[in-house]
Amino acid sequence: MLNRILNKYHFYLMFFLIALTAALLLKNYFFPQFQIILGVMIAPFVFRIKEKFVFSNRYFYISLFLMAIYLAIGLKIFLFLSIGCLLFFAIENIFGKIGSLPLFFLVFISPVFNYVINVFTFTFRLALSKYAAEILCFMGYPVECNGNYFILPDGFTFNVDKACLGLNMFNTGLSLTVLLIALMEKRLGKSLSLPYLTALFSFTVIFLIATNFLRIITIVLFKSMPETLSHEMIGIFSLILYTAVPMYFLILFFIKRFGRTIVINESIVFKPSKRSLALTFTACALLFLSFTYVEKSSKTEIKDLKLEKLTLDGFTKSKKEDGVMEFRKNDLLVYIKPGTKFYGADHPPSLCWKGSGFDVEETKEEIILDQKIMTAVIKKGNTIQYTAWWHDNGTIRTTDQWTWRSTRGEPFRIINITTNTKEDLIFNCKIFLRKKLF
């Protein structure tokens, strides 16, 4: 009985150390509200003990590995994941194994999920809209796809970036898969290993792509605008019919065929947790040291020396956060973001403008001087401006994430031009596309 009380005390102390570390190190880390709500809803089903009193240190080693990656490259997502795995380690060293499903849960509620969906799938989303328009035309409903919005036969425009391919559907779909797996494992008394879980979530992504494609077609046919009941109902029924139903049967098959029987240990055994408490304290101390080192290095290093020295005739120059350079001349505003490594977050202007309180609309690819660039209309109150951007290394100009991340040599910087009129935007884009800035 005394050992049991001491072990519970150790658990609370371990939890306190991890919670304190998370609060101090991640206090400025942005968590999307919708993901947190979903996470809170499904967490009780995910964090279920699958092998009672079968203890493991595996998540401690995973936490150290993620911490080492954070220390090496400085991306805060690895700090977040490391702290999360440290929490899993504490749970598994008091109550028993919780399986691999919490790893996916951790990734899906992390901010990196938003970034990956918003940035890496943008070109794909434009292609999806184009194919949807072609299908509608084939069905005898002539529509024109212009970037991320449709122009219907009566001239009515429909923005599909906000209405049809929002992040919420991917969040909901993947969270729903997590929930279905957790419920099915409990019902059948079996659990899936990491490779099979990975396969299931890969299938989920495929079904979600098909769901979004069919959803686009449906809401355009019915002219179902965002924030209307019909729009929400189409989204819900599409998610259930094209993702939830097939995934239910696929999950059922996987667990029956590949699931391992969950171990039920009836004898109450409490593992002495002094060692686990010491490991937790050590890991928290290392996290603090790693965080301090990375933050100090990021403040002292010059992110892009060439950009620091760059001047543009007739422009005033000022330095913003993260080494971004602002060049201003009358109503012309040019932001140049420093080069980043292939694994880094480039923070595309579409996200940055949203973070500054602007609505970003009519985002699309355009070709100017045989170069693809991204353009958008940004609005804030009564202010309407036109913005364009591309990645530029002095030789290659691209809008494709995979191109700039896989090209060696001179680093790519983001060139972002903003004007008050579309004509001025096109004119100045031509000027800068002809320039060799670096």
From first to last of its 438 residues, the chain has per-residue pLDDT tens of 445 545 557 778 888 999 999 999 988 776 556 677 778 888 888 888 877 767 788 999 999 999 999 998 888 889 999 999 999 998 888 888 888 999 999 988 887 776 677 666 666 666 777 777 788 778 777 777 766 667 777 766 766 554 444 456 777 888 899 999 999 998 998 889 999 999 999 999 999 888 888 888 888 777 777 667 877 788 888 899 999 999 999 999 999 999 888 766 655 555 556 788 889 999 999 999 999 998 888 766 667 778 888 888 889 998 887 778 899 998 899 999 888 777 666 677 877 787 778 888 878 888 899 898 999 899 988 889 999 999 998 888 988 877 888 887 788 899 999 999 999 999 999 999 998 888
Residue linked to tokens 């973070």 = 355
pLDDT given for residue 195 in this prediction: 93
C-alpha to C-alpha distances, 284 to 57, 291, 297, nearest whole angstrom: 15, 10, 20
What are the backbone angles phi and psi of residue 51, rounded to the nearest 5°? -135, 90
Q: State the Cα–Cα distance between residues 14 and 10, nearest whole angstrom.
A: 6
Question: What string of DSSP letters covers 256-319?
Answer: HHHPEEPP---S------HHHHHHHHHHHHHHHHHHHHHHHHHHHS-S-HHHHH---TT-EEEE
- Please list, in sequence order, all residues whose beta carbon lies within 8 angstroms of the beta carbon of residue 273, skipping any fewer than 6 positions away: 6, 7, 10, 11, 14, 93, 94
Which structure tokens are listed for 114?
């938003």
Q: State the Cα–Cα distance between residues 306 and 437, nearest whole angstrom.
A: 9
pLDDT given for residue 155 in this prediction: 67
Report the candidate in 417, 395, 399 with the shortest Cα–Cα distance to residue 408: 395
Q: Is the dihedral of CA 254, 263, 10, 283 positive or negative?
A: negative
Report the candidate in 203, 201, 204, 132 with the shortest Cα–Cα distance to residue 161: 132
pLDDT given for residue 1 in this prediction: 47
pLDDT given for residue 152 in this prediction: 72
Beta partners for 158? 150
pLDDT given for residue 183 in this prediction: 93
C-alpha to C-alpha distances, 197 to 179, 377, 393, nearest whole angstrom: 12, 41, 39
Cα end-to-end distance, the chain, whole Å: 70
* C-alpha atoms less than 13 angstroms from C-alpha of 143 in its C-beta half-sphere: 28
